[in-house]
Structure 1
């Protein structure tokens, strides 16, 4: 697990150093000084800042959340997110948070690296994940994009779970 964390940290350092060298020619949606607000679909995962709803045999789980970011360099944004969810089985509530970075390769392929955690009501252990994701940004105009992508979440709290989780997400972003 230490190798994976070190590899992810090295990737983030590489992305950050390359983002500093990029020059914006278009001043587009991912230019330095722009903001983004994202809403993502997601699966039922503890520590999610996405929108999800799952119901089976009268038991349901839900989550609502948003991510926001600021482009500190062309194509490179620092992001934060919050989410809130619950489940009917254990009558619990879950507060989630996310801190990370997003880099757009060629202004259209978003690559993310972030730390996601959750605080679960009355739980003795809370999850924490290192997430790595990539996708494709489809810009529908000057301010809106749809970003389907694949994400892997590596558990950092082996006492909670030692399993990683793959996700297929569809993100919707506002750029301004």
Structure 2
């Protein structure tokens, strides 16, 4: 399944790259002083700030959240996020994230962040690394397919996990 997701992601990335303009488009969305709000769809595998809904063997799991960032210089944003997750078999948990996102050639976002989850004293944390493609569908809106790997900071509390996300970013 992971191989299928990986091949699909790179296929989408290749198609978008072929449709991308050859010249750098100065859309102003990722310049110093700009803000970004991101809403991602993703899996429920780690504490996250994404929207997800999963049902397995009668157990429904869901999460909701968002991230906000500020561009401290062109192509570089400092970000923070909050999220909430719940399921029928466990108590709800709050997720928080802080990190940075950098756009290579104004089209290829890479990021690193710290993600923590708090749930009735069962805290877990990860360091996440990610890379993707920013397809600007308008001057201030981008769709960003992303591959992410979450590295656990405590093997006794959580596992490392791979994620494939589709992000929607609003720049202003």
TM-score by length of 2: 0.83
Trace 1:147-166 onto structure 2 (pairs within 5 A): 147-161=144-158, 163-166=159-162
Asked if structure 1 preserves the Cα contact closer than 8 Å seen for 2:112 and 2:128, the reply is: yes
What corresponds to 1:7 in structure 2?
none
Give the secondary-structure state (helix, strand or coil) at the position aligned to 1:51. Answer: strand
Aligned length, in residue pairs = 148
Cα distance in 1 for partners of 2:170, 2:27 equals 16
Trace 1:1-176 onto structure 2 (pairs within 5 A): 26=26, 28-90=28-90, 92-121=91-120, 123=121, 125-161=122-158, 163-176=159-172
Residues 123-144 of structure 1 deviation map (CA, whole Å, 9 limit, x = unaligned):
4x32100000000000011110
Give the secondary-structure state (helix, strand or coil) at the position aligned to 1:140. Answer: strand
Residues 127-174 of structure 1 deviation map (CA, whole Å, 9 limit, x = unaligned):
10000000000001111000001000000122203x321100000000
Asked if structure 2 preserves the Cα contact closer than 8 Å seen for 1:118 and 1:127, the reply is: yes
Residues 23-52 of structure 1 deviation map (CA, whole Å, 9 limit, x = unaligned):
xx9361110100000000111123110000
Question: How many angstroms does 1:59 deviate by?
Answer: 0.8
Residues 75-129 of structure 1 deviation map (CA, whole Å, 9 limit, x = unaligned):
0000000001101012x111000000000000000000000000013x4x32100
CA RMSD, Structure 1 to Structure 2 (Å): 1.3
Asked if structure 2 preserves the Cα contact closer than 8 Å seen for 1:46 and 1:94, the reply is: no
Give the secondary-structure state (helix, strand or coil) at the position aligned to 2:114. Answer: strand
TM-score by length of 1: 0.81
Unaligned runs of 5+ in 2: 1-24
What corresponds to 1:3 in structure 2?
none
